[in-house]
Chain A
Amino acid sequence: MSLFGLFDIGKSALFASQTALDVTSHNIANANTPNFSRQEAILEIATPVSTRTGFLGRGVTVSSVRRHFDRFLEAQLLGQKQNFGRAAVLEDVFSQLEEIFNEQNGVGLSTKLIEYLNAWHDVANNPQLLTQRTALLQNADNLVSESRQIENWIENMIQSIDREVPIIIESINTMAVEISRLNERIAQVEGGSPKEANDLRDSRDKLLSDLNELVNIETLEDSSGRVTVIVGQRNLVSGSIVHSIAANKTVDGQFAITLENTDITDRIVNGKLSGLLDSKDTMTNGALKDFRRLIAAITNEVNIVHSRGFALNAQITDFSINDITGQKYTSTQGVIQSATITDFNSFSPGDYVIQFNAGATQYDVYKNGQLVSSGNTYSAPSVLTNGMTITFSGGNPPQGNDIFHVSAQGEDFFNPPSVYTLNKTSSNANITSTAIFDRTALAYDEYEIRFTSPTAYDVYNINDGTTIINSATYSSGGSIYFDGIEVVITNGTGSPQNGDIFFVSPLENAVENFNVAITDSDDIAAAKTSSGLPGDNENALDMIGLFEGDISLYDGTIIGFGDTSYSTPGLGNATFNDFYNGIVMTTGTLSGAAKDSLAFEETLLNEMQFKREAVSGVNLDEEAINLIKFQKAYEAGARLISITDELLEIVLNL
């Protein structure tokens, strides 16, 4: 053992302390760097040498620089980031949605609805006065513009989601590229050795953590340190290969997320992206659709009541009589040739059903679902009822048990709702015309006409999930009737194919088309009889009854006769105000739940972050102690060399 060995020990001490100081400085420098894991120089006893006196220590070596990192905590944290990302988006969207319906701030439809109703009260109080009528039109305009404003707000929110989704997709792709690059560098640096590329791994962990906030991912690490990032069972990053994720809009405006040519939309279940997709879905199929349903119901039902009344200046030409027997009663053999108003004074508009007895000698008359006269003797070729003369065709006279439906209508208050259609998948056939033939049967639902073969289709009610027409035979250009709606599908380049779907909705344009049809306040129909003008206020009272839920527009029970089944119209048993309040409460519940869930996920995330930082975070006091510790060790190492030098001097001076 020579004196020179002391130099080696001193050198190892100096080197080790310096490395430790390096690591400490790095820690201090990164004290506030997110996702940085504090590092520690691991000191080891250098391999001793064997001498005659036994083993002699040979100083210290730095075996590795280890980062303090808890894989289990990290994995939990990543999962929690997904939950947090989703909850944050939902809270953001739903609290905005709630503000659109926040009655407490004086916005929302409730006030406008009640003001419109109150204006009808005032008209009922003084049906002949111009001021009250003008006020009613003004209130109707207010109702219309507030409704459009609300739809506009919801649509704007949906549009901002539509803009946000591609940005998130872009971020995911950018991050994927960076992760793949880091994968390569980590593999190069580590080269299969157990030494970890600490800082590169911290950077990659940071990217994975951010990616987790955007979308639910799974990661696998291979033996050379590369991670595979999986989204919806498809590889986003596989080593150095990146597959781009894409978001495309389908014909009906929904997003389809694809990765590796596979639609993974249904597998996006967490993170910001799922929050955006889900909140869009909730708004489109929840608040927006419900709101449109409400407006469609108001439009249609106010029209039904209004068109059963008489305006101040009512004339015979203001009324029309439509024969809708063919659309409703397929077993009826007789044909109505003409239906006209022959006695205006006793004419009373409404929906009339005329039912003949078994011998076709007598008939009953129903008005708006109520039996108004029964056992009338039929004298061919005409039926005279309520001021109308309905003449039957000589060639096709009424047969036993025939049922006829004529609808006598005056002017509408609002522009009537229209039917929106969308060819979802068919490349051969098209919807060529639509109509609402019986507005009292309108159910405010949405439908799909689904072809099961080139000659057969089902009609499916999207709202209640029932098939209302099963396996009907298709013929090009033939009318399809359901729930008061008539749809005509015509072959284009060919017949529709199995799986072709046509979307039919009386709701889609309800708010867009919502407008007051009346311009002259004299056209407001407050009276129920033409002879009672101008003091008759009974139709105005009916309108109030409609808003109070007191009058039934149509009693669905009498029209069936086992011939065709019709659902009863309306919003269930809810009044307009009830239904609207339902929407408000739903948005409140959504927002409340989103707030609670965000608070919960945030607390959990903070707790996990806290634990992670407890393990991996830098404590400056600790580093200060380390600084002193290694400084002193360095000083002592230097002293050792100096003493060894003195010892050598002594030896040399012998």
Chain B
Amino acid sequence: MRISSFNIYDRITRGFQENLKKLFISQEKIASGKKINRPSDDVIGMSKVSDYKLHINKNEQYRRNIDEAIVHLSVTESTMDSVIDNLNRAYELALTGINGDENAESRAAIAKEVQELYDQMLNFGNSRFRDKYIFSGYKTDTKTFDNNEIYQGDNGRTELLIDRDVKMAINFTGDTAFSFHLSEEIVVDDSEGANVANAVNTTANGATFETYRVEFIAGSPVDYEIYNNDTGVLVASGTYTSGAPISFTDGTNNIDITIADDLGAASPGPKVGDTFYIAPGGDNLNVTFFESLDLLKRGLNNNDVPVSTLAMGTFGYAISSANNIRTEIGAKMNALDSHIDRNEDNVLSWKSTLSHIEDADITETFSEFTRIEVALQALRNTGAKILSQSLFDFLR
């Protein structure tokens, strides 16, 4: 083949271009630390890069959502801890208050402390975090309990997305966190030959927590009178029929009380002078912690041991209800912890895969760079030799 001067110059120029281009690309990889610097470098790789970056970014947001949930739940948790302490203290005070050694004066003193517990409980109920009432459901701008301790919130549970398709409610509403379900009656039995088999508030809607005093007053068969302990109002009276339940209505409440004979007694059946103090239970009866504390306070203030005893009975339910909430929070926290672990594991593994796809192997890139450099040097040497040769140099 014939070679023209153009062929020689052209080949050398092109050789320089090719090598410089490779050097440039290699240098770009070193400068950015990435082997994919634009989609066309590796379209499939780039689509994975976008995908992983999206996953990482989303998971980092889920992680922030988890942190948010943890903060909310922690605040609720510490509040519930205080609530439980408060209830335990109230129980202790009730225990002290019903002791026979106490008198009206000392009971009134204890009632003062109960009043403090009550105020404290109201503060817990109206807890705020970041300017919102945490127990008000969705109505976070509304004070949870008004001055009459009536719940003002709704039953909204704010759910946070803590992972793709995983939602977790992070709030508890005041009507569940500060009340308990009184399913069974509490009774103080001041009788010889009878006891209360059951006392049920059958009202489905609007059942309220009330305590009653059932007095068997005179006659045979014996007559009874029933008083509301709070108002002192006589709500029912009649002649007792053995085995038949005593039914009466007080406000919205429909109460059925069944008295049973104590078969082990010397003479079974209610007698004149027998008295029962009863807090009826019910399937739809919720009692707030405030009502419990209020009952105790009134009992102690009135030097009324039976009523105080009824109040003391409610604290067992209250403490167990508050503990349930506390346990539920604990379970949520545990779940969040395991979500954090998984979230971090995922992000870590995505990041390492991402790095594997898009990051340049620096050692490899450097050796590539050196290789091109050597080739370029060789080209310069040979080019210089070829270009400097011409027959004209020898013609004199």
A residues with a Cβ closer than 8 A to B are 31-32, 38, 95, 98-99, 101-105, 110, 114, 117-118, 121-122, 124-129, 527, 529, 531-538, 541, 544, 548, 550, 577, 581, 584-585, 587-589, 591-592, 595, 606, 609-610, 613-621, 624-625, 627-628
Closest to A38 in B: B4
Task: A450 to B2: give the CA distance in the assembly, Å.
Answer: 64
B136:A621 contact, CB within 8 angstroms: no
| Chain A contacts for B158, CB-based, 8 A | 127, 535-537
**Interface flag for B138 (CB, 8 Å):** yes
B residues with a Cβ closer than 8 A to A are 1-7, 10-11, 14, 32, 34, 36-41, 43, 46-47, 49-51, 53-54, 57-58, 61, 64-65, 68, 130-132, 136-141, 154, 156, 158-161, 164-165, 167, 171, 358, 390-392, 395
| Chain B contacts for A99, CB-based, 8 A | 38
On whether A129 and B130 interact (CB within 8 A), knowing A110-B50, A584-B50, the answer reads yes
On whether A532 and B46 interact (CB within 8 A), knowing A591-B40, A614-B2, A625-B391, the answer reads no
Task: A610 to B159: give the CA distance in the assembly, Å.
Answer: 72
On whether A541 and B4 interact (CB within 8 A), knowing A104-B36, A584-B46, the answer reads no
On whether A621 and B391 interact (CB within 8 A), knowing A541-B161, A550-B165, the answer reads yes
A591:B10 contact, CB within 8 angstroms: no
B5:A617 contact, CB within 8 angstroms: yes
| Chain B contacts for A541, CB-based, 8 A | 159, 161, 167
On whether A588 and B3 interact (CB within 8 A), knowing A125-B65, A550-B165, the answer reads no
A126:B68 contact, CB within 8 angstroms: yes
On whether A102 and B132 interact (CB within 8 A), knowing A114-B57, A128-B141, A537-B159, the answer reads no
B61:A121 contact, CB within 8 angstroms: yes
B61:A104 contact, CB within 8 angstroms: no
| Chain B contacts for A584, CB-based, 8 A | 39, 46, 50
Apart from the given pairs A117-B58, A125-B65, A617-B4, 4 other A-B contacts in the complex at a CB distance below 8 Å = A118-B57, A584-B46, A592-B39, A614-B3
A534:B68 contact, CB within 8 angstroms: no
Min CB distance B282 to A, Å, is: 28
Which of A95, A124, A589, A617 sits near B43, CB closer than 8 Å?
A589
Closest to A95 in B: B40
A98:B2 contact, CB within 8 angstroms: no
| Chain B contacts for A617, CB-based, 8 A | 4-7
Which of A128, A550, A581 sits near B51, CB closer than 8 Å?
A581
On whether A591 and B7 interact (CB within 8 A), knowing A104-B34, A124-B161, the answer reads no
A126:B40 contact, CB within 8 angstroms: no
| Chain A contacts for B10, CB-based, 8 A | 606, 609-610, 613
B140:A535 contact, CB within 8 angstroms: yes
On whether A624 and B395 interact (CB within 8 A), knowing A101-B39, A114-B54, A532-B156, the answer reads yes
B39:A587 contact, CB within 8 angstroms: yes
A118:B61 contact, CB within 8 angstroms: yes
B161:A588 contact, CB within 8 angstroms: no
B156:A621 contact, CB within 8 angstroms: no
Task: A631 to B390: give the CA distance in the assembly, Å.
Answer: 19
Task: A390 to B335: give the CA distance in the assembly, Å.
Answer: 47
Min CB distance B386 to A, Å, is: 12
Which of B1, B5, B47, B171 sits near A31, CB closer than 8 Å?
B5
Min CB distance B380 to A, Å, is: 21
On whether A110 and B136 interact (CB within 8 A), knowing A591-B38, A620-B391, A628-B395, the answer reads no
Task: A32 to B54: give the CA distance in the assembly, Å.
Answer: 56
B391:A104 contact, CB within 8 angstroms: no
| Chain B contacts for A121, CB-based, 8 A | 61, 64-65, 161
On whether A534 and B47 interact (CB within 8 A), knowing A102-B38, A541-B159, the answer reads no
Which of B3, B53, B139, B395 sits near A619, CB closer than 8 Å?
B3
B40:A532 contact, CB within 8 angstroms: no
B138:A536 contact, CB within 8 angstroms: yes
| Chain B contacts for A529, CB-based, 8 A | 138
| Chain A contacts for B6, CB-based, 8 A | 31-32, 613, 617-618
| Chain B contacts for A533, CB-based, 8 A | 138-139
A613:B43 contact, CB within 8 angstroms: no
Task: A486 to B182: give the CA distance in the assembly, Å.
Answer: 62
Min CB distance B199 to A, Å, is: 37
Greatest chain B CB density within 10 A among A38, A577, A588 is at A588
